[in-house]
Amino acid sequence: MIKSGFNYLRWTAVAAVLAITIIAGVRPSTATKQPATPAAVSGVDLANEERALAKYFDDLVTYNKQAADIGKKVSLVKADLDPLQRRSDDLKGRLSGLQNTIREIVAKLKKANEWDDLDQSVAAGITDASQKSFFLQDSFKQLLEESSTSLSSHGNQISIPLDDLRKKVTSRTFSPYVGGADVQFVRAGYEAPAPMAFVSLACSVGRIELGLGHQLRRSPSNATLDRVSCNCNPGAGVGVATGTKCSDLK
C-alpha cells in the first residue's frame, strides 16, 4: 500500500511537470496572435483639428460654388450678393482661428516626435497609388509649417469671387429700353476670376485635411479627394479619384 501510494505521487508529480512544460511552450505562440499597433500610426490625437479643417474647407468650397452659380444668372442686383457677403465675412472671421488650429497640430506632432519624418511616415501608410501620387506632389510638413504662420494673410482671396461679381452690378444705369428709368443690371455671361487667384486657400486647407486623414490612417472619401484635387489642380478639369468633371462636383 505504501509503495502504491508512492508510485501515485510520483506519477502525479511527473504529470504536473509535463503540464507546466506544455503551457510554457504554448504561451509564446499565443502572444504572437495578439493584434499589434502599426508603428507608423500616429499616436497624436488630431481628430478635432481634422474636423475643424474639413468644416472650413467645405464652407469655403460651398461659398466659391455659390458665387459661380450666382454669376451665371442673366441678370442680378446687389441684393443677390448679400448671402455671399455674409459667407465671406464668416470665412474671413474664422481664418485666424484655423491658423491657430494648424499651429496646434504642428506643436502636437513635434511634442510627440512625429515631426521630422512626417512626410515619409504618412506616405508609407497610403496604399492607393492615386492618393499617394497626389499627396507627394507637395511636402505636407512644409505646408503645415507655412500655414501655421501665414494662412490668415491669404484672407483677401476669399473676397475675389464676390468682388468680381460686384463689378458686374452697375447701379443707377440709364437704359433706353425702360423709358429712361434708372435700373440695376448685369450683363449676361459671367467671366470667372482666374482660378489660382482664389483657389490656393482652399487647396491648402484641403491638402492639410487630407494629410491629417492619412496621418490618422483614415482614407478620404472619393468625393473629398476629388474636391481637393480640383481646387489644387483646376487645369486638370477632373477629380483625381473618380475622374468626375470638376464643374459637376458638389
Can you tell me the distance from the alpha carbon of 161 to that of 7, in angstroms, rounded to the nearest whole number? 96
Cβ contact 184:77 at 8 Å: yes
Question: What is the sign, positive or negative, of the torsion defined by CA atoms of 115, 118, 119, 120?
Answer: positive
pLDDT in the model for residue 36 = 36
> How far is C-alpha 186 from the geometric centre of its chain's CA atoms?
36
Q: Within the chain, where are the H helices?
A: 2-32, 47-71, 82-111, 118-124, 129-135, 140-150, 156-168, 199-215, 222-232
pLDDT tens per residue, the chain (250 residues)?
A: 444 444 444 544 444 444 444 444 444 443 343 333 333 456 789 999 999 999 999 999 999 999 999 988 888 888 889 999 999 999 999 999 999 999 999 999 999 999 999 999 999 999 988 889 999 999 999 999 999 999 999 999 999 999 999 888 854 343 444 444 443 444 434 343 333 333 479 999 999 999 999 998 888 899 999 999 999 988 888 998 999 999 888 7
128: amino acid identity, one letter: D
Which residues, including other chains, have CB under 8 Å from residue 121's CB and lie 6 or more apart?
A: 40, 114
List all residues 6 or more positions away from 72 whose beta carbon is below 8 Å from its beta carbon: 190
Angle at 19 between CA 17 and CA 22, to 5 degrees: 110
Going from the C-alpha of 181 to that of each of 74, 149, 169, 188, the distances in angstroms are 20, 52, 16, 20
So what's the pLDDT on residue 192? Answer: 39
- pTM for the full predicted model: 0.72
The pLDDT assigned to 55 comes to 97
**What per-residue confidence (pLDDT) applies to 41?**
53
Interatomic CA distance for residues 246 and 248, integer angstroms: 5
C-alpha cell belonging to residue 220: 478620404
- State the number of CA atoms in the 13 A half-sphere of 207 facing the CB: 28
Taking CA atoms, 109 is separated from 42, 116, 148, 212, 232, in Å, by 9, 9, 13, 11, 25
CB atoms within 10 A of CB 225: 22
What's the confidence (pLDDT) of residue 59? 97
Cell digits for 199?
A: 483657389
